[in-house]
Amino acid sequence: MAGRKQPQTTAAATGAITSSQPQVAAGDANDIARMVEDLDAMLSRLRLGAIRDQLDGLLEEAAQRNWNLREALAWLCAAEVASKEQRRLAMAMTIAHFPCVRTLEGFEFEAQPSIDPGKIRDLATCRWVANGDNVVLLGPPGVGKTHLEVALGREAVTRGYSVQFTTAMELLGSLVKGQQQGTLEVRLAQYAKPRLLIIDELGYLPLEPEAGHLFFQLISRRYEQGSVLISSNRPVEEWDEVFGDQVVAAAILDRLLHHSHVVTIRGDSYRLREKRRSGLFRLQAGGSSSAGSSGSSPPPPAELA
């Protein structure tokens, strides 16, 4: 650099590494040939697996497009970044433990007019996860609660948030067991960790008497720290029955609903709607469904557990 005083001691004298350039004598064909031979190993060592595996194709393409070295390097790096991002996504999706693959693109909003598509699109931006808000999905069975939970959970994973999907039964079963075995703290910490915890199917099955207190502990711990996306077939007014304790239910709802978005889905079960379409079910006068004769109807759609 012009004007700067050069250091008195040379790198050779101190043994310090002053340059990251490989020690290759200019034009030494043997050295460069050896490095090319070691290229795969060096790329492996640098954990640049995508560049290593696709190198021939990538270089060929770069040559075809007449890119200079900087452009070619950017192209190779972009391939590596894309590959790493894909792997991160796949890993995060696995860790999230979604019970199935469901997407917002696969959700038919026309089938569920009580849902405001704009509201769901807004939730899909995951600003609520960034803010630590909660989402409560309420509605009868089959209206798409689990579908939306998985779809919104996948959006959150895609945006880089840690997500864990569980059912209310699994979660509370684990906490009750933790209490009995003296590992409650570990389990609470585990469920408090993900940025978004999805709790499916609260209210379907009766809970153990101590479940309400344990659930309260978890919700308190996550309060204003991490988001909860919870679904229930029971309106919140009935949660005291769900938890078997009015005071505990009120305390849970107080925290859960403080910064929250509540989506109430009304209407028919999508599963029955599909069956009705296929002729397996007929809508009777009064709106209730009943099994109809359907010897040759196509198989029902794939359902969630």
Q: Which of 146, 164, 174, 232 binds ligand ADP (CB under 6 A)?
A: 146
Cα dihedral angle (65, 67, 71, 76), rounded to 10 degrees?
60
Stretch that binds ligand ADP, among 61-69, 107-115, 165-173, 244-252 (CB under 6 A): 107-115
Residue 98: φ, ψ to 5°:
-65, 140
Using alpha carbons only, give the angle 6, 7, 10 rounded to the nearest 5 degrees: 115
Minimum gap (Å) between residue 143 Cβ and ligand ADP: 4
Nearest Cα to Cα of residue 232 among 153, 154, 137, 305:
137
d(CA 139, CA 86): 34
Q: Which is nearer to ligand ADP, 217 or 232 (CB)?
A: 232
Minimum gap (Å) between residue 199 Cβ and ligand ADP: 12
Minimum gap (Å) between residue 108 Cβ and ligand ADP: 4
Residue 270 binding ligand ADP, by CB under 6 A: yes
Residue 255 binding ligand ADP, by CB under 6 A: no
d(CA 43, CA 9): 34
212, 202 contact by CB (below 8 A): no
Minimum gap (Å) between residue 63 Cβ and ligand ADP: 47
Q: How many CA atoms lie within 13 A of 168 on its CB side?
A: 24
Stretch that binds ligand ADP, among 33-41, 57-65, 77-85, 136-144 (CB under 6 A): 136-144
What's the chain's length in residues?
305
d(CA 227, CA 213): 19
d(CA 134, CA 260): 4
Q: Which of 112, 134, 146, 233 binds Mg ion (CB under 5 A)?
A: 146
Q: Which is nearer to Mg ion, 48 or 150 (CB)?
A: 150
Residue 303 binding ligand ADP, by CB under 6 A: yes
Q: Which of 107, 244, 267, 272 binds ligand ADP (CB under 6 A)?
A: 107
Q: How many CA atoms lie within 13 A of 214 on its CB side?
A: 26
Residue 147 binding ligand ADP, by CB under 6 A: yes
Residues at the site binding Mg ion, with contacts judged by CB under 5 A: 145-146
Residues at the site binding ligand ADP, with contacts judged by CB under 6 A: 102, 106-108, 111-112, 139, 141-147, 270-271, 301-304
